[in-house]
Amino acid sequence: MHKSYPNWLELDWGALQQNARAVQAYLGAGRTLWAVIKADAYGHGAVRVADALLQAGVSHFIVASLDEAIELREALPQRAFRLMTLYPPTTLDEWRTAAAYGVECVIDSLEGYTLACAAAQATERALPVHLELDTGMSRLGLTPEQIAPFLERFRPDAPLAWQSAFTHFACADSDPEFTREQLRLFREGVRQLQAGGFPKTPLHAAASAGMLTTPESLLDAVRCGLLLHGIAPTGLGTHSLCQSLRPVLSWRARVVSVRTIPKGQGVSYGARFRARRPTRVATLSVGYADGYPIGLTNRAPIALRGKLAPQIGRVCMDMLMVDATDIPEVQVGDIATLIGQDGDAVVRVETLAQLLDTTPHELTTRLGRRARRL
């Protein structure tokens, strides 16, 4: 790494490719792996992640927005892959742009279906589309009550190329019973659609958590994001598949200052930490402007010289402090690990997420642009 970088991310594309192969093996050869690389691949870098996954044989990708899809198409113009967005287009211009870039879009409402038909006629081509059903997420998709009105408007000869029908689980990492009820509603909705003339298409429901907790939800395809990056969904870190995966991302920062403060002296803004003994404070060149959550103040472990040390004092915009009293060999220029492994010391993003009562992907998607991706 360049000596001038105050903090940086190390990204292991070999681990990513290994994880993708492990996930595909878990799914079986008959199921399609849709790699979810929205939000800049959960902070890992969407273009580089897509390129590495293509080399590993993955050819189906999901992003959130049309902008994200365009970025991928323009960055990888010579590569052949299928690309789906989760946001349903809301204007004719968005549909035209999606068609121009070969992007497959979601229809999630009666209005969306009407707009898609109009867009297909205007562009004079059959548009590749996916139908979303809402089985309890209450976010996007046809509700069970809307299926009958949809079928009343549905035209089998409309210029739309149906690629799949799918749903999204709300509590796959915490409530398997409710997840199974969602799956039942989805199967019933698909049965009703097909009885009304909707074509048989591939079906998908599970994302990373669902594929681990509800195996019967694997269906024809799976949308997988977290697991590809070697990150376990909340509460599922002991699953055998999670144990076999390697984290792709590590986050390092430099020690820029070391000082000893007397007992009773405060550290950082608000003096939310006061030394209970003479304390050796190591200051790191990373803070909340880089994406390190201020909510981890006085709570998180940091790896230094192969040992774990506590973060102390309020996390600052550009710096944070560590109690290095029990690691006397720490000096200016040392490299600290915020996420990742340093010798026997490991800091996992899942651990930090648990401390904040949030999800691992919230942390990785908040990693700032100042942290160089290496």
Active site residue 87: no
d(CA 22, CA 189): 32
Number of separate helices (H) and strands (E) present in the chain: 12, 19
Distances in Å between the Cα of 350 and the Cα atoms of 39, 114, 120 are: 18, 42, 44
Distance of CA 273 to the CA centre of its chain: 33
Q: Which of 42, 200, 269, 292 is catalytic?
A: 269
d(CA 124, CA 200): 24
Contact 42, 233 (CB under 8 A): no
Active site residue 307: no
Q: In the chain, which residue ranges form alpha helices assigned H by DSSP?
A: 13-27, 38-42, 46-55, 66-75, 92-100, 110-123, 147-153, 176-195, 208-213, 240-244, 349-356, 360-365
Distance of CA 316 to the CA centre of its chain: 26
What is the β-pairing status of strands 160-166 and 203-204? parallel
d(CA 326, CA 335): 16
Q: Which of 38, 87, 113, 288 is catalytic?
A: 38
Contact 322, 347 (CB under 8 A): no
Query: Residue 7's beta-bridge partner residues?
Result: 253
Give catalytic residues, as residue numbers: 38, 269
